[in-house]
Amino acid sequence: MKKCCLLILTILIVQNNCFFGQFVKVPTLVKHFVEHQQRDTSITFYDFLALHYWGHDLNDNDQDRDMQLPFKKIDHSTYQLVLPFINVTHQTVSTYSFTSKLSIFDKEILYQNPQFGDLFRPPIA
């Protein structure tokens, strides 16, 4: 029973979140190509793809039909939910005090070369 539920869940996730659903629209692509070929017999499949995907579409009043082609628009979204399971334990916090002074920056590191200052000067109005 667990395997059956897992299989159904996997199919639902893949169907909703992947681009495999776009391959269902391939027959629409073929039908639309046949429609274009009936209008203009010299059009090839490559020209058809270039017209609809890579170029400017003709003004032939079939914009709704063009948007039904596969990979023309994104019609799904992905929601991800992460639930980390953390084992909560009681912890004690230890504090330490440092009394010695440590010099982090040395004066030689902070030395500015005047030649580089001219490169980054803001414009004067």
Of 12, 10, 11, 15, which Cα lies nearest the Cα of 75? 15
The pLDDT of residue 31 is 92
- The pLDDT value recorded for residue 74 is 66
Phi-psi region of 39 (alpha: psi -120 to 50; beta: other; left: phi over 0): alpha
- Residue found by looking up tokens 């004066």 in the block: 107
Helix (H, G, I), strand (E, B) or coil at 2: helix
Token output for 30: 């073929």
pLDDT at 121: 64
Locate tokens 């046949």: which residue? 34
Q: Average pLDDT, whole number, for the chain?
A: 75
Q: Quick one: DSSP state of residue 65?
A: H
Q: Is the pLDDT of residue 64 over 70?
A: yes
Confidence at residue 72, expressed as pLDDT on a 0 to 100 scale? 80
| Interval 28-51 mean pLDDT | 90
Q: Write down the pTM of the prediction.
A: 0.47
Identity of the highest mean pLDDT range in 16-20, 34-38, 57-61, 97-101 = 34-38
Tell me if 15 sits within 8 A of 21, measured CB to CB.
yes
More confident residue, 110 or 58: 58
List Cα–Cα distances, 44 to 31, 34, 37, 38, 65, in angstroms: 14, 10, 8, 12, 19
18 or 21: whose pLDDT is higher? 21
What number of CA atoms fall less than 13 Å from residue 15's CA on the CB side? 7
pLDDT in tens, 69-123: 887 876 656 666 676 776 767 677 777 776 666 666 666 566 566 666 556 666 7
